[in-house]
């Protein structure tokens, strides 16, 4: 594997609340190489989106990156000034949000917004910028791109809007794209089209992609590696096939077991008992131990994310044996 393009080390992102600082991300470490797709998976409140926002420096008060390091292409992003970040965002690093209307301004025509993105980072003529916009829209599968450029966001369907948002992210040929649940709100057939296009783009341009989602099935088809988050911590990461076929962490196992496709039709689904605990009341040590079937007294002490010889990492005192389970 080539040297990582992005290396996140011991990232801690906190939000100040009346009950003290809540750690939305607690010691996340991972890296992404050029052309690699990392799936960042977790349920609501696991810190997966906050991790993505942290990379782009989009954490606003009362949130802050409390400690850790985010190195992108050899440069440290934690503590970098606004100007540095602004020069990177939308240029070398791009983000795609779940709701494309977070990217698009409803009162501006699509061409205005797209050309602006090009001109913000490069001195080219409007004409050249416009040509590049047409090209980007065509690449994400929008027909008659020249005409569609002159329309407003409300004249696009949900799937088309997400394509426009993706096209904007691609405009300046970024080295890294952070995509936060970009297909969750879309229909299955439209999701299939967008996954197809993203796959092709990553493969052709060697772009690194972090795909944040709760949907394990999407990750199975798209990602090279997967990192599973629970209550702000990465509990397991490794190659996608290894993690999905023989999870090491009991939470990953529980998550996979509760997917209907992994259960015999009509039979009760195997479920994880209880609910995700509130970040304000996390148990000491392993955050999952209150719901874990094999927790013992030793789980109450802090558990590090331990690297294994097979390139996988797991944060568990008693990891499941590889190849075991249903």
Partner 1 sequence: MTAAAPLLSVRAVSRRFVRRLDVIEKFAARLGSSVREQVVHAVDRVSFDVADGEVVGLVGESGCGKSTLGRVIAGLHPPTEGEVLLAGERVALEPGRRPPIQMIFQDPFASLNPRMRVGDAIAEAPVAHGLVSRADAQEHVAALLRQVGLDPAYARRYPHQFSGGQRARIGIARALAVQPRFLVCDEAVAALDVSIQAQVLNLFMGLRETLGLTYLFISHDLGVVRHLADRVVIMYLGRVVEVGPIGPLYDAPNHPYTQALLAEVPRLDRRGRRYQPIRGEIPSPLDPPPGCHFHPRCPHATARCRTEAPALREVAPGRMSACHLNDA
The site for partner 1 (CB under 8 A) is made up of 43-44, 157-160, 187-193, 195-196, 199, 214-218, 220-222, 224, 240-241, 244, 254-256, 258-263, 265-266, 268-272, 275-276
Tell the smallest beta-carbon distance from residue 189 to partner 1 (Å): 5
78 or 190: whose CB is closer to partner 1?
190
User: Nearer to partner 1 by C-beta: 100 or 159?
Assistant: 159
User: For residues 44 and 125, which CB has a smaller minimum distance to partner 1 in the complex?
Assistant: 44
- Under the phi-then-psi rule, with left for phi > 0, alpha for psi from -120 to 50, and beta for the rest, what region is 273? beta
Three-state SS for 302? coil
Pick between residue 129 and residue 228 the one whose CB is nearest to partner 1: 228
Q: Is 48 helix (H, G, I), strand (E, B) or coil?
A: helix
- Residue among 59 and 198 whose Cβ is closer to partner 1: 198
Minimum gap (Å) between residue 272 Cβ and partner 1? 4
Non-local (6+) Cβ contacts of 241 within 8 A are none
- Shortest Cβ 298–partner 1 spacing (Å): 24
Shortest gap between Cβ of 65 and partner 1 (angstroms)?
Answer: 26
Strands (E), 148-217: 176-180, 208-213
Q: C-beta of 117: minimal distance to partner 1 in Å?
A: 25
Question: In angstroms, what is the minimal distance from the CB of 119 to partner 1?
Answer: 31
Give me the sheet containing 37-41, strands edge to edge: 93-96, 176-180, 208-213, 37-41, 225-230, 233-239, 313-314, 306-307
Tokens of 196: 């197809």
The alpha carbon of residue 252 and the mean position of all alpha carbons in its chain are separated, in whole angstroms, by 17
Are 174 and 147 within 8 A, CB to CB? Answer: no
Alpha helical stretches, state H, 42-108: 48-55, 82-88
**283 in Cβ contact with 302 (< 8 Å):** no
Of 124 and 220, the one with the shorter C-beta distance to partner 1 is: 220
- Smallest distance, partner 1 to C-beta of residue 224, A: 8
Residue 69 or 263: the one with the smaller Cβ distance to partner 1 is: 263
Record the tokens describing residue 294, joined without a space: 């094999």
Half-sphere exposure of 18 (CA within 13 A, CB side): 0
């Amino acid at each position: 594997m080539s040297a990582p393009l992005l290396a996140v080390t011991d990232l801690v992102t906190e939000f100040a609340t009346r009950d003290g600082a809540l750690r939305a991300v607690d010691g996340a470490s991972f890296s992404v190489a050029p052309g690699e797709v990392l799936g960042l998976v977790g349920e609501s409140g696991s810190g997966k989106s906050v991790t993505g926002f942290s990379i782009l420096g989009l954490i606003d008060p009362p949130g802050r990156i409390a400690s850790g390091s985010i190195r992108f292409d050899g440069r440290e992003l934690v503590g970098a000034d606004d100007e540095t970040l602004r020069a990177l965002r939308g240029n070398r690093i791009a983000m795609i949000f779940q709701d494309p209307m977070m990217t698009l301004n409803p009162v501006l025509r699509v061409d205005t917004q797209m050309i602006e993105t090009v001109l913000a980072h490069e001195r080219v003529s409007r004409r050249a910028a416009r040509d590049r916009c047409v090209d980007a829209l065509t690449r994400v599968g929008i027909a008659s791109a020249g005409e569609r450029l002159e329309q407003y966001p409300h004249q696009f369907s949900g799937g088309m809007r997400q394509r426009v948002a993706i096209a904007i992210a691609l405009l300046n040929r970024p080295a890294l794209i952070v995509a936060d649940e970009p297909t969750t709100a879309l229909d299955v057939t439209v999701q299939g089209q967008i996954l197809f296009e993203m796959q092709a783009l990553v493969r052709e341009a060697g772009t690194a992609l972090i795909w944040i989602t709760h949907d394990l099935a999407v990750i199975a088809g798209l990602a090279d590696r997967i990192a599973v988050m629970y209550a702000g911590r990465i509990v397991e990461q490794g190659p996608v096939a290894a993690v999905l076929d023989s999870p090491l962490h009991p939470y990953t196992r529980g998550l996979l077991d509760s997917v209907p496709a992994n259960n015999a039709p009509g039979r009760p689904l195997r479920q994880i008992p209880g609910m995700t605990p509130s970040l304000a009341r996390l148990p000491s040590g392993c955050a999952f131990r209150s719901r874990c079937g094999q927790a013992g007294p030793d789980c109450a002490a802090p558990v590090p994310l331990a690297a294994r010889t097979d390139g996988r990492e797991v944060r568990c005192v008693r990891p499941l044996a590889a190849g075991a389970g249903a």
